[in-house]
Amino acid sequence: MKKKLIVLLVAFITALFLAACNNDTNNEEAGTDENQESTVTKEDIENIEDDQVVATVNGKEIFGRDFHMMYNTTVMMFGGQELEPGMMMEQTMNALIEQEVLMQEVEEKGYTVSDEEVEEYLNSEVIVNFESEEAFLEQLEGTPYTLDTYKDQLAKSLAIDAYVQGELSAEVSDEDVRAYYDDAVAQIESENEESEEKADIPPFEELEEDIRAYLEENNINQQLNVMVVDLMETAEVERLV
């Protein structure tokens, strides 16, 4: 049930972390190495104050409360398993900064979401999955979010979704869908030959729409990834932790 609370947010944050993984090259340019990361402890992370400025992006401040929310959401995404503190610090900061860079681009293009739209989505797409609003709020208590911070993050996700629909193309050709199916079938048949097993592969018609949706999502994620990397090249970023 808790996953229903964050399905849209997880997709949003996962996209940020996919982009953040590209910071290996940026880290080398900035002189970040494993020794520097290993000096970060879990206590260092816990000691970041909520009202502490952890970074600025084009002059806009990012606070410790934002860091902790992103950090705790990431831990939740990994099923409660925390990675090495230095890596978690680096990836969380990267995702936070890239989120801000992306949101500034979205807002500059005029994509915003009203409080009424957030409430409508919350009631029609999220709370409806629970027995009651009280059950929703009870589950929310087990996440890093308060109701207000959940709404704030939901607004960002919805604004980015509007941006994606208005500015990016998810179109995938019929040929690409068929090629993906044929490649998957060929791989399965090859593996089955080695193991002398026979797989019951559904016909193309049964899987076509699922494959198309999967490829469209990948297409959008790749475009967002490239866009964030490009925006980061011109952004004025100051990291303070």
Among 139, 43, 54, 31, smallest CA distance to 82 is for 43
**Residues 132 and 190 grouped into a single domain:** no
Q: Quick check: helix, strand or coil at residue 228? A: helix
**Residues 44 and 84 grouped into a single domain:** yes
Task: Name the average pLDDT for the chain.
Answer: 84
Distances (CA, A) of 215 to 55, 142, 179: 35, 33, 11
Who wins on pLDDT, 198 or 74? Answer: 74
Q: Which residue has the tokens 């992006």?
A: 57
pTM of the model: 0.78
The number of domains in the chain is 2
Instruction: Find the domain containing 106 and state its range.
Output: 2-170+220-239
**Residues 72 and 148 grouped into a single domain:** yes
Q: List pLDDT tens digits, range 99-131.
A: 999 999 999 999 999 999 999 999 998 899 899
Q: How much is the average pLDDT of 46-54?
A: 96
CATH code for position 40: 1.10.4030
Q: Which residue has the tokens 């980061």?
A: 232
